[in-house]
Structure 1
Amino acid sequence: MARGRLRRRLAAIDQNLTTRPDADLVDILRIPEPFVSPTQRIIRRIIYALTALFAAVMIVYLDRHGYRDIESSPNPDDPLSFLDCFYYATVSLSTTGYGDITPVTPSARLTNVLVITPLRVAFLIVLIGTTVETLTTQSRQALKIQRWRSRVRNHTIVVGYGTKGRTAVAAMVGDEVAPADIVVVDEDPAALERAKSAGLVTVRGNATDSEVLRLASAQHAKAIIVATNRDDAAVLVTLTARELAPNAKIIAAVREAENQHLLEQSGADSTVVTSETAGRLLGIAVQTPSVVEMMEDLLTPDAGFAIAEREVEPKEVGGSPRHNPDIVLGVVRGGQLLRVDDPKVDALELGDRLLYIRSAESER
């Protein structure tokens, strides 16, 4: 009954985000873009302008018999020179038009091409460049959102980009997970800006709202990490995420151990009690600080030693994990983790997975 009431409550605050046009989601869903300096942008614009100019020149030159210069050519049948074509294309693309004063001599026309036109292009860049760039940026972002929503599959969603969320993302990236495969959901603009700077896709909103998680494509996610700052929020997010993604793996962090069973009942596959874990490390550090240092090393996948998981190779079937060349800590069989000294895993079977200690340096 309680879960039914909670679902009705979440449905009541549904904002129908996924039904909005992609252009309306630009301020909510952000797809990271590579940084381009202002100098590079201006150079690109100049190159585009010159390309269009030379294309117009060639078009006019190929059809030069169809043009007539009434000022400098006494014979109407004389074709335009290449400089004439260049001049005509220049005044046409720059929207100069034809006035009562027009350059007639070759030197005047050459000056118009080499000096006046670049000044006009620079003026247009300064005058309308910012407006055009803003419009094209929003349109490009809306197009990227549309493509991303249609293609994203098997990604990881991180709810909350505080200390726990940032550390979780750093661990995944260190374990060779592409940043583009990670989506951060948070309400804090500063946290979203940090996630964007790290190359992550971001969604602004409250993850207890099913539409926010649906906008992050939770229904297609491989895993969902719940790293909120409050246990009640973690329970609500887990419940919402499990309803949207019944097949996704949900890992949730909880501050207090008495709330761990609430996360498990809400659908979390794995839970981490942050306060007790930190307390144990603090207690161990009093007598054996080197143990804490080694555990931190094991939890850092991109340096030193790290805990990893792999499938049992055919040549290892039938052997004991304790005699394996790798330092094996446990065996996952049928979705259940068994310690290496458990009699059930004295002989490895095909399909087992080994939890072992690997060296990041040797693998690189």
Structure 2
Amino acid sequence: MLKVSDLPPLTRRSQTSAWRKLGLRAGLALALLATAFALLWFDRAGLKDNLDGAISFADTLYFTMITVTTVGYGDIVPVTERARLIDAFLLTPIRLFIWLIFLGTAFELLFKRVWERWRMTQIQRELGGHVVIAGFGKNGSSTAEHLLAEGLDPAALVVIDCSAEACEKATALGAAVIQGDASRDELLEAVRIESASRLIVSAGRDDTGILIVLSARKLSPRLDIAIAIRNHDNEDIAENAGASRVVNPVTVTAQLLSAS
């Protein structure tokens, strides 16, 4: 019997917006600051103000902010053993957590986006004569593995799929990956469909696949496009949409079985 730890993780795409995440992190940072202030206010007798000798509410608030964000200026210092232990074992972890929140937020909202844009620009510059696979399900992934086994350079393979799991699988093969709807012009332009050598459409649905063919043919009139069609009645529609080759897995399987 399988244990829970042996099963793959059950995940769901986060529905939280970037601004909501930012608000949650800001709230957490404020909560940590409030906790630090409460600790210092509770033990304010262990602090010493070198200017006037008295610790007021404003002095405690000031010392909280200075202690959490910097190493302090020396105007207010802990003088008792308990105050120093509170600073060492309680305030220091709060200080580290707040800095991690700030750094993580800055990385996600600024550096990560800049890096992703720069990286995408570099990948786009290298694309030319590449193979684009729209749809990385069972047929799409098998096609990619077959192409790589025949000697296709993974750097010359680009995958478009709406599924994050499929994108991760394609990334593991070394392909360039973009997550989204392959029928959208901006995604096809992002993978430089006009300079691709081939487009392989395996969307899983005939209507979606035909729409992808129409979008790609509009952007690249001479592109070699192959599409997998499930319904025999849609083969002519796919050809009229601009597909160079139409493959029906059911028909191919029947031919192989009859030939065997």
Shared fold, TM over 0.5 = yes
Task: State the one-letter code of the partner of 1:140.
Answer: W
Q: Distance in 2 between matches of 1:256 and 1:97?
A: 72
Q: Which residue number corresponds to residue 99 of structure 2? A: 127
Q: Distance in 1 between matches of 2:237 and 2:199?
A: 17
Offset, 1:124: 5.9
Aligned with residue 201 of structure 1, among 170, 173, 176? 176
Q: CA, structure 1 residues 251+274, in 2 after alignment: closer, same or farther (shift >3 Å)? A: same
Q: Which residue number corresponds to residue 243 of structure 2? A: 268
In the alignment, structure 1 residue 240 sits paired with structure 2 residue 215: yes
Offset, 1:133: 4.6
State the Cα deviation string for residues 76-134 of structure 1 (Å, max 9, x = none): xxxxxxxxxxxxxxxxxxx758748xxxxxxxxxxxxxxxxxxx9xx869933544554
State the Cα deviation string for residues 29-52 of structure 1 (Å, max 9, x = none): xxxxxxxxxxxxxxxxxxxxxxxx
Mapping for residues 77-156 of structure 1, pairs under 5 Å = 99=74, 127-128=99-100, 130-131=104-105, 133-134=107-108, 135-156=110-131
Q: Distance in 2 between matches of 1:147 and 1:179?
A: 16
Check whether the contact 1:256–1:274 (CA below 8 A) recurs between aligned residues. no
Offset, 1:249: 1.2
Aligned with residue 196 of structure 2, among 221, 233, 242? 221
Aligned with residue 256 of structure 1, among 205, 228, 231? 231
Offset, 1:241: 0.9
SS class of match (2:152): coil
Aligned with residue 185 of structure 2, among 210, 232, 244? 210
Q: Distance in 2 between matches of 1:127 and 1:150?
A: 37
SS class of match (2:115): helix
State the Cα deviation string for residues 142-193 of structure 1 (Å, max 9, x = none): 2111222344222111111111100111011112212222111122232223
Task: State the one-letter code of the partner of 1:184.
Answer: V
Gaps of 5+ in 1: 1-26, 28-94, 101-119, 289-364
SS class of match (1:177): coil
Q: Give every structure 1 segment of 4 or more consecutive aligned residues whose post-TM-superposition deviation is greater than 4 Å.
A: 95-100, 123-126
Task: State the one-letter code of the partner of 1:241.
Answer: A
Q: Distance in 2 between matches of 1:176 and 1:208?
A: 28
Task: State the one-letter code of the partner of 1:225.
Answer: I
In the alignment, structure 1 residue 188 sits paired with structure 2 residue 163: yes
Task: State the one-letter code of the partner of 1:219.
Answer: E
Choose 1 or 2 for highest CA Rg: 1
| Structure with the bigger percentage of helix | 2
Q: Distance in 1 between matches of 2:183 and 2:204?
A: 13
Mapping for residues 27-46 of structure 1, pairs under 5 Å = none
- How many aligned residue pairs are there? 178
Q: CA RMSD in A?
A: 3.3
Q: Distance in 2 between matches of 1:207 and 1:275?
A: 24
Q: Which residue number corresponds to residue 277 of structure 1? A: 252
Q: Distance in 1 between matches of 2:113 and 2:211?
A: 33
Q: Which residue number corresponds to residue 157 of structure 1? A: 132
Q: CA, structure 1 residues 97+188, in 2 after alignment: closer, same or farther (shift >3 Å)? A: closer
Q: Which residue number corresponds to residue 147 of structure 2? A: 172
Gaps of 5+ in 2: 1-17, 19-69, 76-91
Check whether the contact 1:222–1:249 (CA below 8 A) recurs between aligned residues. yes
Q: Distance in 2 between matches of 1:281 and 1:126?
A: 63
Q: Distance in 2 between matches of 1:99 and 1:232?
A: 71
Q: Distance in 1 between matches of 2:96 and 2:148?
A: 43
Check whether the contact 1:256–1:276 (CA below 8 A) recurs between aligned residues. no
Mapping for residues 272-311 of structure 1, pairs under 5 Å = 272-284=247-259, 288=260
Check whether the contact 1:252–1:272 (CA below 8 A) recurs between aligned residues. yes
SS class of match (2:136): coil
Task: State the one-letter code of the partner of 1:229.
Answer: G
Q: CA, structure 1 residues 170+126, in 2 after alignment: closer, same or farther (shift >3 Å)? A: farther
Task: State the one-letter code of the partner of 2:114.
Answer: S
SS class of match (2:177): strand
**TM-score normalised according to structure 2 size:** 0.57
SS class of match (2:227): strand
